[in-house]
Structure 1
Amino acid sequence: MKGVINMQVLRILIVHVLSALCAAVVYVFGIDYDGYIPYFLISAIIFIYYLIFATPVQYFLNRKPKRFNLKYLLIYIFFSFLVWLFFAVITDPKTIIDFLMGYEIYLFSITFALIFWVWDSVFLQNKAKTAAK
């Protein structure tokens, strides 16, 4: 039983690391910045955000695993948007309307959720589904 739990934790960490790396690439290209140092720093920050905010949603959705379920993608997009909106309000509440009018919040919310959903479906939903048989 302990080995199964350790493998599950390892797969969760793999999902978070791969998601953070892919999301950092999207973010760096989205803000049009060139350089390696911000890429690694942004990857680490996104990894922490995924651990804090995506893990509870991931845990809830993995109780009934379904690979590449569009309902799960919509749930991830919704929570991703809430996290982006939350940090926009915290960092500069006066420009929240400008932030909502820009394309970045929607681009990053949808893209980050899509990235996480794909890696989650590949590593966790598949393994949990085959283990249940």
Structure 2
Amino acid sequence: MGILRGIIDYLCTVVFSVLSATIVYTLMFLEGFGFASFRAISLFMLVAYLIFATPVQIFLNRNPQKFHGWYLVTYFIVSLVVCGILALLTDYGLIVFLWYKLYVFSFLLALVYWFWDSVFIQKN
């Protein structure tokens, strides 16, 4: 039963993080709120969280602590690096690092995952 509970907690963390991050992205970068774009953005958020946030979460979960500030800082640094690399790969160039929205968006993505991770996964 413990493994099943862990899987359910992890799935809840990912689902709520993806939905929250998609809403953040939609509010920050899109003019209108359409369901077609919501599904596509959700898919990209899901892939990003699975590839980048999950390994960090597994590493941090060796010493679980709810709402720990260093966990938020760690998630923010990883999020900033990933968002910066993706911005460079999509032809924005180095100018993107002068754009305040990169830092705000990276922080909000980290905050979303940190919050849901603390709610569902961290037990202490």
TM bucket, shorter chain? over 0.9
Q: Structure 1 residue runs of 4+, over 6 Å off? A: none
Q: Structure 2 CA distance, aligned partners of 1:5 and 1:83?
A: 30
> How high is the sequence identity, in percent, across the aligned residues?
38
When the two structures are superposed, what TM-score results if normalisation uses the length of structure 1?
A: 0.87
The alignment covers a number of residue pairs equal to 123
Q: 1:123 — aligned with what?
A: 120
Residues 68-114 of structure 1: CA deviation (Å, up to 9, x unaligned): 0001000000000011011122222xx42221111221111000000
**Correspondence list, 1:67-82, <5 A:** 67-82=66-81
Q: Structure 1 CA distance, aligned partners of 2:122 and 2:10?
A: 11
Instruction: Mark the runs of 5 or more structure 1 residues left unpaired by the alignment.
Output: none
Structure with greater helix percent? 1
**Alignment pair present for 1:50 and 2:61:** no
When the two structures are superposed, what TM-score results if normalisation uses the length of structure 2?
A: 0.93
TM-align CA RMSD: 1.1
- Give 1:32 deviation, angstroms: 3.1
- Give 1:36 deviation, angstroms: 1.6
**Bigger radius of gyration:** 1
Q: 2:110 — aligned with what?
A: 113
Q: Structure 2 CA distance, aligned partners of 1:50 and 1:57?
A: 10
